[in-house]
Amino acid sequence: MRPKNCDKAIETELVIKASCLSSIRSLLLRGVTQLRIHQRTHTFRTYQCDLCSKTYGSLTGLQSHRATHTAESRFLCSQCGKRFKTRDGLEGHLRTHTGERPYRCPYCSKDFTALAGLNVHVRRHTGERPYVCTVCGKGWPSGGDLQKHMRTHTGERPYVCQDCGKAFSISCHLTEHRRIHTGEKPFSCPECGKCLRRKFDLKKHMLSHSNILALLEKLVEVKEIMKIAQQMKMIQE
């Protein structure tokens, strides 16, 4: 016959095991729920804001967004006076003043001020494009990219120049255009000091200080010579 304290020990062990199994089951169920919520972000978004028509893959996401329409912008930046509706929004903004970039890309070591920016950037490495156009089926790594793309179908050009009335589908294109009126040339060449309106123009200009442009010019010359030689051969024949 087993002693009573032995039976009690066995009973205690069984209770502990049952408790552990219950905890594991709870964690698994929670994981399945989170997985289903996440999977919806790659397929369809069913929760739509009735104020701005923005859509979300979960009710929690919609509820957080709805608060931005009603909440006061009570978080103030002491550096520039800009206000934010959430503490996270303010903290992310403050990094633009401090230069802090705590989120690093594991593929190219590029740093970001916000986790959301890093997530979008990583998708450009992995090729993941969860935001799909309902018109042509093209995928994009971020909701902002999809929104810009949709304007190519709708023809919407919400960014209008106040000086000449020209409209643009993307805000950065309006910013570049405005420099024609203001004469601003913020991109300066470190080699010769020449200033240009666009970053793309600066990159193109920088080629003039390297051997790459000379090689390209020689390649064009060779192609032209070969083309003329072929034409001469055809005439002779």
- DSSP output for 45-63: --EE-TTT--EESSHHHHH
Judged against a pLDDT cut of 70, whether residue 101 lies above it is answered with yes
Residues in the chain: 237
* Segment 40-50, tens digit of pLDDT: 445 544 567 77
Question: How far apart (Å, rounded) are the C-alpha atoms in residues 110 and 114?
Answer: 12
Which residue, chain included where needed, has tokens 């978080």? 75
Tell me the fold of 101-155: Double Stranded RNA Binding Domain (3.30.160)
* Segment 169-182, tens digit of pLDDT: 888 899 999 999 99
**Class at the top of the CATH hierarchy for domain 55-98:** alpha beta
**Class at the top of the CATH hierarchy for domain 157-218:** alpha beta
Looking at the chain, the whole-number percentage of residues with pLDDT higher than 70 is: 63
Which residue, chain included where needed, has tokens 């420099």? 179
* Segment 175-226, tens digit of pLDDT: 999 999 999 999 998 889 899 999 888 888 888 777 665 666 666 666 676 6
What's the average model confidence in pLDDT over 136-165? Answer: 90
Residues with Cβ within 8 Å of residue 124, at least 6 apart in sequence: 141
Bridge partners of residue 83, in order along the sequence: 76
Question: How far apart (Å, rounded) are the C-alpha atoms in residues 18 and 23?
Answer: 9
- Return residue ranges of the chain for CATH 3.30.160.60: 55-98, 101-155, 157-218
Prediction pTM value: 0.51
Mean pLDDT across the chain: 76
Question: How far apart (Å, rounded) are the C-alpha atoms in residues 143 and 152?
Answer: 15
| pLDDT value, residue 181 | 94
